[in-house]
């Protein structure tokens, strides 16, 4: 345990050092002025500080004030050496952060006993803090593992709905990446970015309720068939709603809102502008861009330049202009994801 002792009287310093040598495991750093002791404490963390009050230059009170300003030093015990007559000084020292006092001249028996008790308390607190850190790490690891399993389960179930739609599993991965990138470009929090990364792939989970003869039809849908197709947004919401999981709550919001349009011409509720949740506005851009640049049974993949032009042409009608602007600013990242997660048949 490191003990910092500060006293301008060399005789006192030698006495304290000799007494402290009787305490097993103690390393003493003795200083004859407060400035030197303060400088030492900035590079080496003490476990106990013993400081005299009367010193030239920086006195004990000023030392305590500066010492307590060092980050992480609020709990380190500080003992001030004063005379019995200095009651006012003691009150000031307590207000500044002193924990205990020793009378001058120090009684050797009291000095050693007091130091042993304070070092024992310091050691117990350090061990308790380390144990708390270990427990926090264990809880964090366990929570992360639960989250990982939840994410894997959701990912696999979501892929099942994508395969019914003749899309590849990479579409849902790209959707999540695009959405997180757009969220970051829009200045959303890191937590919101993470939620979109994991929730966006569930945007079309409601297609599990769409009949195969409509979902897999290669020709144009009739008006009645199109009305049935649109119901996948509501079906997805019904599947995902009422969960206590923030991830599934976000996914439900996306499922029901990603086909809404900025001008109110979308579905299922004809929301417009910022009445559409930001998650739905982000996923609308991500979904359309990925659909346009991917091969589908009914069309080849569009060149990326053509898809970008489509986004700009429909900014303010289909898409939130702010999200399209964010897409433009984050285009290099979007393009990186598209290239690294390309479908085997994509152009």
CATH code for the part of the protein at 2-134? 3.40.50.2300
Beta-bridge partners for 205? none
Residue 161 — very low, low, confident or very high, per pLDDT cuts 50/70/90? Answer: low
Q: Indicate the burial class of 201 (C-beta count within 10 angstroms; 0-12, 13-18, 19 or more).
A: buried
**The pTM is what?**
0.60
pLDDT in tens, 261-280: 999 999 999 999 999 999 99
The residue-averaged pLDDT of 318-326 equals 98
For the chain, domain boundaries: 2-134, 165-340
Q: What are 214's two structure tokens?
A: 């409509």
Q: Looking at residue 296, what DSSP letter applies? A: B
Count of all residues that appear for the chain in the document: 347
Give me the sheet containing 48-52, strands edge to edge.
Answer: 27-31, 2-6, 48-52, 78-82, 100-103
**Would you say the CATH fold of 165-340 matches that of 2-134?**
no
> What beta strand segments (E) does the chain contain?
2-6, 27-31, 48-52, 78-82, 100-103
Is the Cβ–Cβ distance between 39 and 70 less than 8 Å?
A: no
The residue-averaged pLDDT of 169-180 equals 88
Separation between Cα atoms, residue 289 and residue 311, nearest integer Å: 8
Return the CATH fold of 165-340: Hypothetical protein af1432 (1.10.3210)
pLDDT in tens, 203-248: 998 988 899 888 888 788 999 999 999 999 999 999 999 888 888 9
């Amino acid at each position: 345990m490191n003990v910092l002792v500060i006293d301008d009287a060399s005789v006192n310093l030698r006495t304290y050092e000799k007494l402290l040598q009787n305490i097993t495991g103690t390393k003493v750093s003795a200083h004859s002025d407060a400035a030197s002791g303060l400088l030492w404490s900035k590079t080496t963390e003490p476990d106990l500080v013993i400081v005299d009050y009367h010193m030239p230059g920086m006195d004990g009170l000023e030392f305590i004030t500066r010492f307590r300003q060092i980050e992480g030093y609020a709990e380190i015990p500080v003992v001030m050496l004063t005379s019995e007559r200095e009651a006012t000084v003691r009150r000031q020292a307590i207000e500044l952060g002193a924990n205990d006092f020793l009378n001058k001249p120090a009684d050797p028996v009291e000095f050693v006993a007091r130091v042993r008790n304070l070092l024992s308390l310091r050691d117990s607190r350090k061990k308790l803090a380390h144990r708390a850190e270990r427990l926090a790490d264990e809880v964090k690891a366990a929570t992360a593992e639960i989250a990982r399993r939840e994410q894997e389960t959701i990912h696999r179930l979501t892929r099942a709905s994508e395969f019914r739609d003749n899309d590849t599993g990479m579409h849902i991965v790209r959707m999540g990446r695009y959405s997180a990138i757009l969220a970051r470009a829009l200045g959303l929090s890191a937590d919101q970015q993470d939620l979109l990364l994991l929730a966006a792939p569930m945007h079309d989970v409601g297609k599990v309720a769409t009949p195969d003869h409509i979902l897999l039809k290669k020709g144009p849908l009739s008006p009645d068939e199109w009305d049935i197709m649109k119901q996948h947004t509501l079906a997805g919401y019904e599947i995902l709603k009422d969960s206590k999981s923030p991830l599934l709550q976000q996914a439900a919001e996306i499922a029901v809102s990603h086909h809404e349009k900025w001008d109110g011409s979308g579905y299922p509720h004809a929301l417009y502008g910022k009445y559409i949740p930001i998650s739905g506005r982000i996923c609308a851009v991500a979904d359309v861009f990925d659909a346009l640049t991917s091969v589908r049974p009914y069309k080849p993949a569009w060149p990326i330049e053509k898809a970008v032009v489509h986004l700009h042409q429909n900014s303010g009608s289909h898409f939130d202009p702010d999200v399209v602007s964010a897409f433009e600013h984050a285009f290099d990242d979007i393009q990186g994801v598209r290239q690294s997660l390309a479908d085997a048949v994509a152009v």
